[in-house]
Structure 1
Amino acid sequence: MSSPEEPADLFGDPAPAAVPDPPATVREPLAALAAAALFDLLIYRTGGYAAAGLFLLGGVPLIALGSPFRGANWRGFAVVAGLLILTTGRLVWLGWGGAVAAGFVLLAALALTRCGRPAWTLDVAVFWLQTLPAAAAAVLNSRHLLQRDPAPERCPGAAPPAGSDGEPTAASRPWSVLLPIAAGLAFAGLFLLANPDLKATVGEWVARVSARFGDALRWVVPGPVQAFLWVLVGGATLGLLRPLVRESLLDPLAKLETRQRTQRRRAAPADSVAYPAVRNTLLVVVGVFAAYLPFEFLTLWRRDFPEGFYYAGYAHEGAAWLTVALATATALLSALFRGSLLADPRADRVRRLAWVWSGLNFLLVAAVCNRLLIYVDFNGLSRLRIVGFLGIAAVAGGFAAVVVKIARDHGFAWLVRRQLRIAALVALVGLLAPIDWIAHSYNAARVRAGAPAPLVLIGNHEIDLGGLLALEPLLHSDNEIAARGVAGRMVLAEEALDHPRYRTRTRTRTRGESSPVEKPSGPLGELNRYQLAEVQFHRMLARNRDRIEELLADRTAAEAADALGEYGMRWW
């Protein structure tokens, strides 16, 4: 939970200072059983990214209804639930492992908000790490749910009720049924093993039942691995619903900084020994930035480059080094404004220098973006270039958090929480965004406009189905090499989708079998392979089948794709 002094947060209001341990409810084991059943049906038996997305989506009502906590951070819960819906949408459209991992991280964030706490990034990590120990504690805490009637309370030293032998009778009721059954089965089995003819008769009967109802039994009765996964998923669910860790990891530091800030504001101002070093450092870095940035903009902003210009050196490696410079500035500015300097009566002077340097750093952000755009203008947009823009956004957001920290006199805990959250949200965008579709929508538009340089990326980079969907306009391009190459790549992708190795992803194993068997027919049997992007891709191929056959009439798809790759290398 965040400290009481922190302002309202996007992910919810801070929780109370102490959250009492709620009593055990039947909702928790029911939610754990429902989660295990969902996992078994959607993940173990069905599989596929769409099923994984539905499992994540099913976690929203399970956590909302299964939590024993009465209060909740409902605003944060709604935000995280919305992110989980977006994650499910991505998995149904075109899933990948990164989106699945993001979904499970979001489940922990959702459970945090349901407990009434803000979803800080470090706390989400701790939340997952404590799930299994918390599950064991939750099971111990739920023992009394097996008792129909709670034992009456007695005064200390009072004699137990007659016939109770000092123990509550309700606790022994399950054993009054289970113990006789276990003893009867044990001795019946021993007597069976002692009679070979009877054992053979029973064995034949079991074989006939297995042959008649084997498939149904394998569907209902779990194998060892399946049972272990049930326990694991159910336990993780219990650990998310009733966590052991009730306080935010950075709460002690936040409270300490709050006390120090209060003491500093009450104390008389005093000169800081760090003031000259901070002032001189800011003067130097402001001077260095003021000298370099005009050179950066004068030489690279107009993008009028000579023949043989080293695009990779300036726009790729150079942008990376400028991003490192921005990250270093973020760390330095945060480190300078701390401790006794904040109580110095001359602190406003260095703050003015800090605002000047901050403005220059935001100009540096523009310079880094300009360098990446130089590369994009040269030969198009790729996955790594989009990741580069996201990295710049994360660093710039972290620097903005430092500026807010200094302006509002926040502590280090406040800064770490916001910077990690900014980084996590940017990473989430990268994991869920249709990056290939974005990149090749831009590249296709460039080629259609008469700039063939992005063909180097279209012809030589790996492209997922989303990116191939974006290349549909190039089938009708005036550039025959581009049109044939794109048609070849689409046909090769279609053949890959129909390859037996791809089809094996739609198979599963049933208990007791060593070879894969087809999944059951019906909606769940098709769900394991369902991807909306694949459906759209096949529809797109059907729309353009005549055009593709025309383009590939005198060559194979592989030859056309190779020709496009070789043609594009002139813009490498």
Structure 2
Amino acid sequence: MTDLAMSSQPSFRLSRLQRAALACLILVALGDWLFFQRPLGISVALFLAATALLSAVTQRRANERTNGRMRMGPVLLLIAALLPLVNDKNLLALGFGLAGLGAFVLIVTRHWHGVRLATALQIAGLYVGPWRLAARTMQAMKIARRRDPRRPYTALFFTWCVPLILGAIFLLLFASANPLIRQVFDNFDIRTWLDPLFSSRSLLWILLAIFTLPLLCVTAKIKGRHRKPIIATPHTLPASLGNTSLFLTTGTILRALILFNLLFALQSVMDIIYLWGGVRLPNGMTYATYAHQGAYPLMMTALLAAAFVLVALRPGSEAERSPPIRWLVTLWVGQNVLLVISSILRLDLYVAVYSLTTLRLSAFIWMGLVAFGLILILLRILRRRSNHWLIKINLAAAVAVLYGCCFINFEAMVADYNVDHAREFTGRGVALDMRYMAELGPHALPALDRYLARQAGMTSPPDARTLAYAKQLRTNFAWCIAQPGKHRDWRAWTLQKARLWHYLDTARPQTASISEPAAIKAPENGVTDATVPPRGAPDTTAPGDGN
């Protein structure tokens, strides 16, 4: 009898919307504990992982229909996407983390349709969608008003909207005319009501709820066929696009390629003579000037050339089937590859004279990607591949390079290079720019220690002002790393920060104490004299240009 009574009682089960609301409250509480008045670090990766876990729990019906292999796939993808945030916190790592979280949610809700543009737009919609909620709500209410004017909630809104607005206007007019009403308004301080509502903590809760709710309320797609993507071919394109347009006839493309090859050959010959051959430049022009003025414009030239090839030689077009055009395009793309290599050499010559910056290091990586893309264009032409294949390989290469960049400490790399190639130790180039060392931040501390150690071992006395600046900068960096409180909070832990903590702990016997940071004055080593704060200064590595 008891068993029968217990079995007849209805079991308590939460709906998917209720589970999503409960998970949202949990994530808001977790985010408040991790982020409010706390430094960012490993806490960002932990919050994204918790969001993914609760999203999978709220979508458990979709997960019941997936096998073990399908469950491990999104988990491994999420771990790989969160690893950059574990290494260091920056915008690039955050981008990979958000993309991995969005892909995880789409997979567990069975909205994943493979790596394609539509999937990327779906991931972006998970984060952009909530900010369009107000506009969509107003649009939905307008549509509901048109369809059924007698609907109670819609009618209530529209019937009370105008009276309330006009009533508020009349009340303000009465307050300006009646001293008693105005006194009531003067005594009423709206800030006492709005301060708790719009405090920094409540705004954080609202932002966390806006961020997490779309990831928890994705409708699971269990059934239904997915439409196959439409691949553009000469037969499926419109007549205006499937055939060569009026301005890009076969004759036009042939003449353009002949002219382009001659122009690029002229530039390539000049680079071979002056950059590769070492021929003396005209009076008044240095190799650094020649290199710097051409590095970035030549990169834009290569990109425009690649765009022209993709537009002119569409798969299946008459121009692609023409042997002379294919031969000229192959020659032209080869010259573009040589142009990119010359741009890399130009930038290398400029760096040898004016030292290295993070922007110039990024330019090296960008140039390598452009050269790789040009080689892929050449392969596409020779092997008659589609533009879809070309775009897919280029995107894969770009994602792989950017993912690898998440684990490279560019600030430390630049600081090491500039110290090793400073004029104080090599006798050529420029002196170590202390202002830019301050811009690089605490990651430049090991390189700065090597600079001070090498200065101490030199026979010739160093510049006293530069040495004092370097020592104070070292003190500021050490204080930023070692100060107690929030900077040693476990929430701020990352692999790169842990390496700095370990380095400072092992190098601390070299310094008796770590004092408070102070504003310091930059030495005159080719830059203007100005007061420099402990962290942050403009890039003045090269005269007149920070590129």
* TM-score interval, normalised by the smaller of the two chains: 0.5 to 0.7
Name the residue aligned to 1:469.
Answer: 446
- In 2, the alpha carbon distance for the partners of 1:280 and 1:301 equals 30
1:381-434 CA distances to partner (integer Å, 9 max, x unpaired)? 111101211221333343344334434544445544554555555555556532
Shift of 1:132: 7.6
1:301-322 CA distances to partner (integer Å, 9 max, x unpaired)? 2567679644664333310100
Asked if 1:337 corresponds to 2:301, the answer is: no
One-letter code of the match for 2:302? L
Does structure 1 conserve the Cα–Cα contact (< 8 Å) formed by 2:271 and 2:342? Answer: yes
Name the residue aligned to 1:100.
Answer: 94
Shift of 1:468: 2.4
Name the residue aligned to 2:87.
Answer: 89
Aligned with residue 501 of structure 2, among 535, 549, 553: 535
Does structure 2 conserve the Cα–Cα contact (< 8 Å) formed by 1:43 and 1:55? Answer: no
- In 2, the alpha carbon distance for the partners of 1:411 and 1:78 equals 31
The DSSP-based 3-state class of the residue aligned with 2:476 is helix
- In 2, the alpha carbon distance for the partners of 1:247 and 1:415 equals 28
Does structure 1 conserve the Cα–Cα contact (< 8 Å) formed by 2:312 and 2:319? Answer: no
Name the residue aligned to 1:327.
Answer: 303
Shift of 1:365: 1.5
- In 2, the alpha carbon distance for the partners of 1:540 and 1:75 equals 41
Name the residue aligned to 2:475.
Answer: 491
Name the residue aligned to 1:317.
Answer: 293
Aligned with residue 544 of structure 1, among 498, 510, 513: 510
Asked if 1:53 corresponds to 2:17, the answer is: no
Name the residue aligned to 2:371.
Answer: 396
Q: Which runs of 5+ in 1 are unaligned?
A: 1-22, 138-217, 265-272, 507-522, 550-555
Aligned with residue 558 of structure 1, among 511, 514, 520: 520
One-letter code of the match for 2:340? V
Shift of 1:464: 1.6
How many residues get paired? 425
Shift of 1:542: 1.0
Deviates most, 482-491 or 423-432:
423-432
Q: 1:80 to 1:54 in 2, by over 3 A?
A: closer
- In 2, the alpha carbon distance for the partners of 1:459 and 1:32 equals 46
Aligned with residue 268 of structure 2, among 285, 293, 313: 293
The DSSP-based 3-state class of the residue aligned with 2:296 is helix
Aligned with residue 43 of structure 1, among 18, 35, 41: 35
Task: Note the aligned Cα RMSD (angstroms).
Answer: 4.9
Does structure 1 conserve the Cα–Cα contact (< 8 Å) formed by 2:54 and 2:216? Answer: no
One-letter code of the match for 1:334? L
Name the residue aligned to 1:234.
Answer: 212
Shift of 1:78: 3.7
One-letter code of the match for 2:491? L
1:457-495 CA distances to partner (integer Å, 9 max, x unpaired)? 344451222122233211211453465543232123345
Shift of 1:300: 1.3
Does structure 1 conserve the Cα–Cα contact (< 8 Å) formed by 2:19 and 2:58? Answer: yes
Q: 1:458 to 1:66 in 2, by over 3 A?
A: farther
Name the residue aligned to 1:378.
Answer: 353
Aligned with residue 350 of structure 1, among 315, 318, 325: 325
One-letter code of the match for 2:501? V
Name the residue aligned to 1:206.
Answer: none
Shift of 1:545: 1.6
The DSSP-based 3-state class of the residue aligned with 1:562 is coil
- In 1, the alpha carbon distance for the partners of 2:528 and 2:426 equals 15
Does structure 2 conserve the Cα–Cα contact (< 8 Å) formed by 1:393 and 1:426? Answer: no
**Once the two structures are aligned, what percentage of the paired residues are identical?**
18
Give the alignment's TM-score, normalised by structure 2.
Answer: 0.62
One-letter code of the match for 2:498? L
Q: 1:63 to 1:411 in 2, by over 3 A?
A: farther
- In 2, the alpha carbon distance for the partners of 1:32 and 1:547 equals 46
Does structure 2 conserve the Cα–Cα contact (< 8 Å) formed by 1:282 and 1:353? Answer: yes
Name the residue aligned to 1:183.
Answer: none
Q: 1:107 to 1:342 in 2, by over 3 A?
A: farther
One-letter code of the match for 2:266? A
Q: Which runs of 5+ in 2 are unaligned?
A: 1-14, 134-195, 240-247, 530-539
The DSSP-based 3-state class of the residue aligned with 1:391 is helix
Deviates most, 409-418 or 279-288:
409-418
One-letter code of the match for 2:48? L
Q: 1:411 to 1:118 in 2, by over 3 A?
A: same
Name the residue aligned to 1:19.
Answer: none
Does structure 2 conserve the Cα–Cα contact (< 8 Å) formed by 1:127 and 1:240? Answer: no
Q: 1:567 to 1:348 in 2, by over 3 A?
A: same
1:2-41 CA distances to partner (integer Å, 9 max, x unpaired)? xxxxxxxxxxxxxxxxxxxxx9699877765664454333
- In 2, the alpha carbon distance for the partners of 1:390 and 1:131 equals 29
Q: Superposed, which structure 2 residues align to 1:422-441 within 5 Å?
A: 422-423=397-398, 425-428=400-403, 433-441=408-416
- In 1, the alpha carbon distance for the partners of 2:237 and 2:541 equals 64
Deviates most, 394-403 or 384-393:
394-403
Does structure 2 conserve the Cα–Cα contact (< 8 Å) formed by 1:73 and 1:117? Answer: no
Shift of 1:299: 0.3
1:318-346 CA distances to partner (integer Å, 9 max, x unpaired)? 101000001001101101111652587x4
Q: 1:410 to 1:340 in 2, by over 3 A?
A: closer
Name the residue aligned to 2:120.
Answer: 124
Shift of 1:240: 6.0
Does structure 2 conserve the Cα–Cα contact (< 8 Å) formed by 1:443 and 1:454? Answer: no
Shift of 1:369: 0.5
Give the alignment's TM-score, normalised by structure 1.
Answer: 0.60
Q: 1:44 to 1:277 in 2, by over 3 A?
A: same
1:261-291 CA distances to partner (integer Å, 9 max, x unpaired)? 8999xxxxxxxx9333333322332232233
One-letter code of the match for 1:228? I
- In 1, the alpha carbon distance for the partners of 2:118 and 2:395 equals 8
Q: 1:57 to 1:280 in 2, by over 3 A?
A: same
Q: 1:529 to 1:492 in 2, by over 3 A?
A: same
Q: Superposed, which structure 2 residues align to 1:246-261 within 5 Å?
A: 255-257=230-232, 260=235
- In 2, the alpha carbon distance for the partners of 1:65 and 1:311 equals 62
The DSSP-based 3-state class of the residue aligned with 1:373 is helix
- In 2, the alpha carbon distance for the partners of 1:336 and 1:417 equals 20
One-letter code of the match for 1:486? A
Does structure 2 conserve the Cα–Cα contact (< 8 Å) formed by 1:102 and 1:431? Answer: no
Q: Superposed, which structure 2 residues align to 1:274-285 within 5 Å?
A: 274-285=249-260
Q: 1:296 to 1:498 in 2, by over 3 A?
A: same
- In 1, the alpha carbon distance for the partners of 2:302 and 2:34 equals 45
